Structure 1
Amino acid sequence: MAERAYWLAWSQAKGLGPILLKRLHSHFGTLAAAWHAEGADLLDVEGIGLGLGSSLIEYRQTVAPLDLLSRYEQQHPNFWTPADAEYPALLYEITDPPPLLYYRGHSELTSALQMMPSVGVVGTRGPSDYGQRWTRRLAQQLAAHNIIVVSGLAKGVDRFAHQQTLDSGGLTIAVLGTGVDQTYPQAHQALQDNIARQGLLLSEYPNGTPPDRAHFPRRNRIIAGLSRAVVVTEAPARSGALITAHLANDYGRDVFAVPGSLDNPNSAGCLALINQGAQMVLNDMTLVTALGQLPQLSAAPPIATEPRADRTPPSHLPPPPLPPAMAQVLAAIPDEPASLDWLVQELAQPTGDLLATLVQLELLGLVNQLPGMRYQRC
């Protein structure tokens, strides 16, 4: 709990943004060590000068990190810091990871990011029929191949990407520019609720935070940070989606763009990305093929983590209560490995629906997928 408390305490210090906070951690090894460091040692951190250093020393004298954490968790029970094992390791790799990450939905999806590839799907808020069609086609293929779709729940491309992923039985993460308990735009209330039930909502802003113009460009870095690759399906020359693409490139992620007509202003941003070196989407399998060639991620946590005092070790957790549909699939899996075809016939379910349920059971640690699309209870 201690290191989690120091991440929270430092995150509340005025003038200490995500970049400096990560530098502070890298310099001292832990934020607890940074908290107790001599004032002169703080000045050794790049970006901390005399003025900021003095204010940080004064701030430390007014805050008790463990007491702060206790109070804060009462108001905001659902958040992670990089000291928590659930914090996405992929996200911590970027230069400015959010020190606090609030969530709503299936929190185990952040662990799945270490085992399953993820793609950020972004684009214009006003896509043409062509942009809508290709967003849906790509999301459908990603869902069919157990690739997590990440987007920002904005109008247009984001909405089509999330909705098609859910409709295809896939997994999706929405990164919001508001608190996870707020909806913007309001027309996406039903979609946001569905993502909370079937996927995951994330934000660096606490509950109750309303929409703000400055928040949305900031959240783009989280979309890029959570993704192994980012694809822009349709975007004009001055689209916010291009910010996500450029950030992804800076973070070492693969960037893709769907080519469009020279007569369509909505394609200008994608064509510019391709001209700058982005990979061109040539068909609906381009992303799936490319992701299969990326190296596997390590399952290690982002930084040295501490077990939560109120958390039972995973190996001792009782099986979670399951919805009837998931319980039916789990009960149908025999003691010996069963093929996907056998399960489809036994359960009389569409293959896509059954695959989606099996993925959820796998994320819960109840089922193992074996070579040859065979499944076995853990």
Structure 2
Amino acid sequence: MAERAYWLAWAQAKGLGPILLKRLCSHFGTLATAWQASGSELLEVEGIGLGLGSSLLEYRQRVSPPELLARYEQQHPNFWTPADADYPALLYEIDDPPPVIFYRGRLELTSALQMMPSVGVVGTRNPSDYGKRWTRRLTRQLVGHSVVVVSGLAKGVDRYAHQQTLDDNGLTIAVLGTGVDQIYPSVNRDLYDRIARQGLLLSEYPNGTPPERAHFPRRNRIIAGLSRAVVVTEAPSRSGALITAQLANDYGRDVYAVPGSLDNPNSHGCLELINQGAQMILSDMTLVTALGQLPQLRPAKTDETEADGRGDRPANSATPPPLSPAMAQVLAAINDEPTTLDQLVQAIAQPTSEVLATLVQLELMGLVTQLPGMRYQRC
């Protein structure tokens, strides 16, 4: 909790953006240590000059991180910092991770991100019938192969991606350019309510923040950061989806694009991406096949393996605690041979998201292990 307070405190300091804040943490090991650093030590951090260094020293003198955290938690109870175990590890890997991220919905989706591949599906707000069809088609395949679908809850492609995921009982995360309590655009009110119940809403902006033009390009970096790959299904030459694709490329994530007709202006952005090196979608299986070739996700950190300033992770106990009825049911359904997620869902007759959340808990307890192809086996 102490490091959480320092992430919040440093995030409020004027002149410290996400890039410099992560650099500060990396330099000192923890932000609590950085808070005690001398002025000369702060100047050793690349990007902090005399002016900013003096401002930070003055800021520290008038701010108490524990008191700031206590007040902030009363106003905003649902937020994470990189010091929190639930903060998405994949997101922290980017150069400019949000120091504070607010959430609403099913928190087990953050655990799912540790265990399942995630794909950002983005595109134009005004898709053609072709764009709608291929957005649905690709999303359906992703859900069928237990992929978390990430998008931005905008009109058009975003809406179709989220909607298809929920219709197929898949897992979806919506990243907003407003507070997570704001519905924008209003036409997506029904979809917003469904994601709040069945998925997860994320934003780096606190509750009450209205839509502002500058927020949405910043929002796109979070979509890219949460995704192991990004696919643009249809987009014109000037599109926020291309910003997301460029950011994903900068972060070392794979970028895919659906080719379209030269006669359709909404396809020009995708064709430009392909010309610049994005991988071309040639069938509804292109993405799924490629995901199997991506490096395996790294296991969640524990305090026995690493404490890197993002908060200690509890180590697995040698003697697991008693299992809940849900855990016992899932564990009993896993045979001696590897069992797929789909087989477990059918055997237990529970929603995919609930079964997956239970599997994550069992894996963290060391009772099951995940094999390639979303198969599970008892340890």
Is this a same-fold pair by TM over 0.5?
A: yes
- Which residue of structure 2 aligns with residue 306 of structure 1? 311
Change (3 A) 1:57 1:271: same
Aligned residue identity for 1:6: Y
Aligned residue identity for 1:306: G
Q: Distance in 1 between matches of 2:152 and 2:198?
A: 16
Aligned residues of 1:114 and 1:299 also touching (Cα < 8 A): yes
- Which residue of structure 1 aligns with residue 272 of structure 2? 272
Residues 168-207 of structure 1: matches in 2 within 5 Å? 168-207=168-207
Residues 156-175 of structure 1: matches in 2 within 5 Å? 156-175=156-175
TM-score (norm 1): 0.88
What is the deviation of 1:364? 4.8
Superposed CA deviations along residues 179-221 of structure 1, whole A, max 9, x for unmatched, are: 1111101121221121121111111011111111110010000
Q: Report how many aligned residue pairs link the two structures.
A: 366
- Which residue of structure 2 aligns with residue 132 of structure 1? 132
Change (3 A) 1:101 1:320: farther
- Which residue of structure 1 aligns with residue 19 of structure 2? 19
What is the deviation of 1:334? 5.1
- Which residue of structure 1 aligns with residue 54 of structure 2? 54
Most deviating of 278-287 and 101-110: 101-110
Task: Confirm whether residue 240 of structure 1 aligns to residue 240 of structure 2.
Answer: yes
Task: Confirm whether residue 358 of structure 1 aligns to residue 355 of structure 2.
Answer: yes
Most deviating of 183-192 and 118-127: 183-192
TM-score (norm 2): 0.88
Task: Confirm whether residue 63 of structure 1 aligns to residue 63 of structure 2.
Answer: yes
Gaps of 5+ in 2: 302-306
Task: Confirm whether residue 149 of structure 1 aligns to residue 149 of structure 2.
Answer: yes
Aligned residues of 2:165 and 2:171 also touching (Cα < 8 A): yes
Aligned residues of 1:124 and 1:156 also touching (Cα < 8 A): yes
Residues 280-291 of structure 1: matches in 2 within 5 Å? 280-291=280-291
Change (3 A) 1:284 1:71: same
Change (3 A) 1:191 1:273: same
Q: Distance in 2 between matches of 1:196 and 1:377?
A: 33
Aligned residues of 1:257 and 1:273 also touching (Cα < 8 A): yes
Superposed CA deviations along residues 71-111 of structure 1, whole A, max 9, x for unmatched, are: 11111111111111111111111110000011111122122
Change (3 A) 1:288 1:18: same
- Which residue of structure 2 aligns with residue 98 of structure 1? 98
Q: Distance in 1 between matches of 2:258 and 2:166?
A: 22
- Secondary structure at the aligned position of 1:136 is classed as helix
Superposed CA deviations along residues 98-128 of structure 1, whole A, max 9, x for unmatched, are: 0001111112212221211000000000000
- Which residue of structure 2 aligns with residue 225 of structure 1? 225
Aligned residue identity for 1:33: T
Q: Distance in 1 between matches of 2:4 and 2:84?
A: 7
Q: Distance in 2 between matches of 1:370 and 1:24?
A: 36
- Secondary structure at the aligned position of 2:262 is classed as coil
Change (3 A) 1:60 1:357: closer
- Which residue of structure 1 aligns with residue 293 of structure 2? 293
Q: Distance in 2 between matches of 1:374 and 1:184?
A: 38
Aligned residues of 1:181 and 1:208 also touching (Cα < 8 A): yes
What is the deviation of 1:370? 6.8
Aligned residues of 1:337 and 1:375 also touching (Cα < 8 A): no
Aligned residue identity for 2:249: N
Aligned residue identity for 2:131: G
Aligned residues of 2:257 and 2:273 also touching (Cα < 8 A): yes
- Which residue of structure 1 aligns with residue 80 of structure 2? 80
- Which residue of structure 1 aligns with residue 215 of structure 2? 215
Superposed CA deviations along residues 230-278 of structure 1, whole A, max 9, x for unmatched, are: 0000000001100000000000000000000000000000000000000
Most deviating of 179-188 and 157-166: 179-188
Aligned residues of 1:148 and 1:170 also touching (Cα < 8 A): yes
Aligned residues of 1:337 and 1:374 also touching (Cα < 8 A): no
RMSD after superposition: 2.8
- Secondary structure at the aligned position of 1:179 is classed as coil
Q: Distance in 2 between matches of 1:236 and 1:23?
A: 35
- Which residue of structure 2 aligns with residue 39 of structure 1? 39
What is the deviation of 1:298? 1.0
- Which residue of structure 1 aligns with residue 304 of structure 2? none
What is the deviation of 1:359? 2.6
Aligned residue identity for 1:291: L
- Secondary structure at the aligned position of 2:114 is classed as coil
Change (3 A) 1:373 1:300: closer
- Secondary structure at the aligned position of 2:25 is classed as helix
